[in-house]
Chain A
Amino acid sequence: MAAPAVRMFRRVEGLFCVYKPSGVHWKLVRDNIETKLLKGLNAAPSQPCPQEVRFLAQPGGDAEAPKGLTLSVASVPALSKHPLVTGPEFQYLQVGVGHRLDAFSSGVLVLAVGNGNKILNDLYRTRITRDYTLEGESTYGHITQDKLDRVLAMLQGANQKSLLMYSNVDMRSQEAYEMAVQGLLGPDGKSAPILTGLRCIRFEPPNFTIEVQCLNETQKYLRKVVHEIGLELRSTAVCKGVRRTRDGPFTLQDALTRHHWTASDIMQAIQQYKSSKKNKNYSRSKVKEPGLHPLEENTTDSQQNETNVEAVAAGGSRSQTLLSQRCF
Chain B
Amino acid sequence: MPCSFFLCRVTMASSCAQLCLKCRSLLCSKTVATTWQHSTQVRHCRTVTPVITKVLNGSSFFSGNHRTSPASQRWKQQMFCYSELSVKHLATEAKEDKFKEELSRADVVAYKSPLLPVNEIQMPLDLDAAAEFSALEEITHEEAVSISVPAAIPPSSTSLRDYVDKSETLSKLVQLGVNLWKLEQRPNVGTMLLKLDFNMDVAPRLLFLKHIGVEESHIGYIITHNPFILTEDLESLQARVNYLKSKKFSSETVASMVSRAPYLLNFSVKRLDNRLGFYQQQLNLSASNTRNIIARLPRLLCGSLEPVKENLKVCEIELGFKENEIQHIALTVPKVLTANKRKLTQLFDFIHNTMKVPHHLITKFPQVLNTKYLRVRERHLFLEFLGKAQYDPDLPNYISLDRLVSLPDEIFCTELALATLEDFYLFQKTL
A interface residues (Cβ-Cβ under 8 A, vs B) = 19, 21-24, 52, 56-60, 62-71, 78-88, 106, 243, 252, 255, 257-260, 319, 322, 325-326
Contact = CB atoms under 8 A, between A and B. Distances in A.
Contacts of A80: 161-162, 164-165
A80 B178 CA distance: 13
Contacts of B146: 65-66
Contacts, number: 95
* A-B pairs with lowest CB-CB distance, top 6: A87-B181, A80-B161, A63-B97, A57-B94, A63-B101, A79-B164
B94 A65 contact: no
B374 interface: yes
Nearest to B175: A79
Given A57-B94, A65-B101, A259 B425 contact: yes
Contact of B178 (A67, A84, A252): A84
11 contacts: A52-B165, A56-B92, A59-B94, A68-B142, A82-B164, A84-B179, A85-B161, A85-B181, A257-B425, A257-B428, A259-B425
A258 B94 contact: no
Contacts of A64: 97, 101
A69 B374 contact: no
Interface hub of B97, B178, B180 (most chain A Cβ within 10 A): B97
Q: Chain B, interface size: which category?
A: 35 or more
B145 interface: yes
Nearest to A325: B385
A81 B171 CA distance: 12
A60 B374 contact: no
Nearest to A241: B431
B180 A57 contact: no
B97 A82 contact: no
A188 B95 CA distance: 76
B409 interface: yes
B374 A24 contact: yes
Given A57-B92, A78-B165, A66 B142 contact: yes
A132 to B, nearest CB: 14
Nearest to B425: A257
Contact of B374 (A23, A59, A82, A85): A23
Contact of A85 (B94, B164, B373, B428): B164
B270 interface: no
Interface string B369-396: 0000110001000000100000000000
B171 A21 contact: no
Given A60-B94, A80-B165, A19 B429 contact: yes
Given A57-B95, A66-B142, A68-B145, A84 B429 contact: no
The CB with the most chain A CB atoms within 10 A, among B98, B142, B374, B429, is that of B429
